[in-house]
Amino acid sequence: MNVWPYNLFLACALVAALVLIRFVPGLRAPGKFLSGVPMAVTATIFLGALGVFSGILPQTGDPSAPWYYRITSTGIFAVSVVFFLLTLGLAALKRPFPKSLKKAGYLLNHAGLWIIVAGMTFGAGDIQRQKIELKKGVAIAQPDVPFEITLLDFELHEYPAKLMLFDHYSGVFVHPGDFSTELQAGKTISLMQWKIAVETVYPSASKSNKDYISDPSGKGGQAAYIKVHGKDISGETKLAAEGWVAQSGPGAMPKGVVAGRYMLAVSRSQPKLFRSVIEYRIANGPKTKSYIEVNKPLAAEGWDLYQSSYDSSMGKHSDVSVLDAVRDPWLPVVYTGIFILLAGMLHMFVFGSRASIKKGAA
Amino acid sequence: MMSANVWHVFEIVFWPVIGAWAAGLVLLAVNLLHKTRKSPLIANILLASGTLMLAAFIGYMWVQLERPPMRTLGETRLWYSALIPFCGLAVGMRWRFHWLNFYTVLTAALFLFINYLMPETHDRTLMPALQSPWFIPHVVVYMIGYALLGASSLAAFHSLLKTRKFAALDPGEGGFMAAHKLAELGFIFLTAGLLFGGLWAKTAWGHYWTWDPKETWALLTFFSYLVFFHLHFRSHGRTRGAYVFLAVSFIVLLLCWFGVNYLPAARSSVHTYQG
């Protein structure tokens, strides 16, 4: 849907209407009524009441769903937003030229919120969002996105794996593993009647005959050498079992250590960090190498690229990485509003909420 | 290195904290019932020391977990329990409205007790989306806001109980003054938390606003307090209606904080970090 530049025209028309209502002498009375507290409360409750629906019921983007499952795309929601912008805009124009810094709070708060809501509303149609599924070594170009991206590598770092314990006669988990059973070299873990000494830990390991060795590629599973001590019938502490416990890796099965009817094994670990090493090229320009990580997007040509997901069934062996490409040309407008509102809040913190409304108030 | 069991330490710290708070409240009650003009210094010290012990535990937890302890609802309850008693103490000293301590400390104790009854496996993991410089400011600012707004509702509740049903309210009364000032301060932090959340969401998920249920309820909380301020402004704080909205707002806030997880909309929320 191409709304540009009609959304800009609409925004300008709204601003013009607000200025007219506020400053044309004949429109003073309706302007005052529309910008008053009763209208502010009505507009806020109107918009908020619709918000309650979308806060309770799961929302969908499907246009054929009943209206209460797609509140923000309904006509009544649009009406409530316009009403909100009308009364809030007129309120902001009530005190457009504060005489001193102390009296600027009212304008900052009302104008800041207005700019945010207006930027969100009129800019919504210009936001472009695309999922880009990258496969290692393949250059991907998508329509609208003005560059070509190649995934060079996908890196995933994990938190330490946890030791878990199950009864291998019945198959029942006795201990699913938690913070206290994280595998760290030099640590002693207490589980049931045992003290388990963790000797060596490899965050990435590969199998070599009966042993495990560190795998510098970073793609191997986690492995640890453990010694299980327990008390025998006479109360003496003895070595009950020892050996490698390991996650599965490329061409390797998971491995556990058996102690009596129990088996000690390693849980799957949580991802700590994942990122794509990519190379991108704008038009026929030179290739640029870069990283994209969660919370660390890459900005290029007006687009932002976000690390979204990967093939989680493959974990660190995933050679697929999914990016979100987003273009939001109205973002500077919304950010301007956010910073004005933040300034308004700082003003309220320093001077109090009444400073810019009441005469002579502290 | 032996792994320190954070939960075990919590069980040990829990009782001295509760003990200091209980002793402080008893002493405060004696002080207030005797209507002495003097500031309840020893009671305040006891209440503060219980709260500081809890704050120290949160610090210890932070070090042990090697991540900010702000991920689960239980962890945010701990922050709330440590912050709200300070609001009560500050209001007591500023507006001589010492009654607020009963509400704030009992709320804190209730939250602490919930944590005591619901042991969490304190997990070190922090999903990549939460690993951001925004994580700490976003959560801390929100928790301070929640604590101030909770204290505000409690102060208004106490003063409303004391006022006859149809009488005009005295906006200069300590409880109402404290309620309004606390709501104002709390609202500042709430708004900052909401805006920080938007800025963070942009860097993490690509958009500052996605109508995620948690976001929607955060906006509704913001709106609800907006309505309170407008009603309070218009009535000069003399009518009950505004304060009724203050109570409604706090219910919306609690829905945003805990309630969202129980609503049908929560299925599609990205704000669930219980692991």
Where do the domains of chain B lie?
1-120, 128-269
| pLDDT number for residue A85 | 98
Residues 219-258 of B with CB under 8 A from A: 219-220, 223-224, 226-227, 229-231, 233-234
CA distances from A147 to A130, B130, B142, B157 (A): 13, 29, 40, 60
Mean pLDDT of B158-165: 84
| pLDDT number for residue A222 | 93
Is residue A143 exposed (0-12), middle (13-18) or buried (19+ Cβ within 10 Å)?
exposed
Closest CA to A248 of A310, A313, A165: A313
Interface residue A192 vs chain B (CB under 8 A): no
Poorest-confidence range of A7-16, A316-325, A334-343, B119-128? B119-128
Measured in angstroms, the CA of A255 and the nearest CA of chain B are apart by 24
CB contact at 8 A, A177 and A267: yes
Pairwise CA distance, residues A270 & B71, whole Å: 15
| pLDDT number for residue B121 | 67
Mean pLDDT of A228-247: 89
In CATH terms, the superfamily for domain A128-156+272-326 is Tick-borne Encephalitis virus Glycoprotein, domain 1 (2.60.98.10)
CB contact at 8 A, A165 and A47: no
Pairwise CA distance, residues B261 & A155, whole Å: 33
ipTM higher than the 0.85 cut: yes
Mean pLDDT of A86-103: 94
Poorest-confidence range of A74-78, A206-210, B83-87, B256-260? A206-210
**Residue in B125, B132, B217 nearest the CB of A159:** B125
Mean pLDDT of A6-25: 96
**Residue in B126, B129, B192 nearest the CB of A342:** B192
Residue range A216-228, pLDDT digits in tens = 888 888 999 999 9
| pLDDT number for residue A359 | 54
CA distances from A139 to A31, A142, A146, A293, A320 (A): 58, 10, 13, 19, 13
pLDDT value at B3 more than 70: no
Helix (H) or strand (E) segment spanning residue B36: none
Rg over CA atoms, chain A: 31
| pLDDT number for residue A361 | 38
CB contact at 8 A, A211 and A244: yes
pLDDT band at A360 (very low <50, low <70, confident <90, very high): very low
Mean pLDDT of A252-266: 90
Which residue is closest to B185 within chain A, CA to CA? A349
| pLDDT number for residue A347 | 95
Instruction: Kindly report the three-state secondary structure assignment for every residue of chain A.
Output: CCCCCHHHHHHHHHHHHHHHHHHCHHHHHHHHHHCCHHHHHHHHHHHHHHHHHHHHCCCCCCCCCCHHHCHHHCHHHHHHHHHHHHHHHHHHCCCCCCCCHHHCHHHHHHHHHHHHHHHHHHHHHHCEEEEEEEEECCEEECCCCCEEEEEEEEEEEECCCEEEEEECCCCCEEECCCHHHECCCCCEEEECCEEEEEEEEEEEEEEECCEEEECCCCCCEEEEEEEEEEECCCCCEEEEEEEEEECCECCECCECEEECCEEEEECCCCEEEEEEEEEEEECCCCEEEEEEECCECEEECCEEEEEEEECCCCHHHCCEEEEEEEECCCHHHHHHHHHHHHHHHHHHHHHCCCCCCCCCCC
Residue whose structure tokens are 């505000």: B152
Interface residue B269 vs chain A (CB under 8 A): no
Q: Which residues of B touch A324 (CB under 8 A)?
A: 205-206
Pairwise CA distance, residues A148 & A153, whole Å: 16
Which residue is closest to A295 within chain B, CA to CA? B204
| pLDDT number for residue A1 | 60
CB contact under 8 A, A51 and B216: yes
**Residue in B3, B191, B207 nearest the CB of A326:** B207
Chain mean pLDDT for chain A? 92
| pLDDT number for residue B274 | 52
pLDDT value at B2 more than 50: no
pLDDT band at B1 (very low <50, low <70, confident <90, very high): very low
pLDDT band at B20 (very low <50, low <70, confident <90, very high): very high
Domain ranges of chain A: 1-94, 101-124+328-362, 128-156+272-326, 160-269
Residues 57-116 of B with CB under 8 A from A: 65
The fraction of chain B above a pLDDT of 90, given in percent, is: 63
The fraction of chain A above a pLDDT of 70, given in percent, is: 98
Closest CA to B216 of B149, B264, B179: B264
Beta-carbon contacts of A19 under 8 Å, excluding residues fewer than 6 positions away, are A93
Residue range A143-187, pLDDT digits in tens = 889 989 999 999 999 999 999 999 988 888 888 888 788 899 999
Interface residue A332 vs chain B (CB under 8 A): no
pLDDT value at B275 more than 50: no
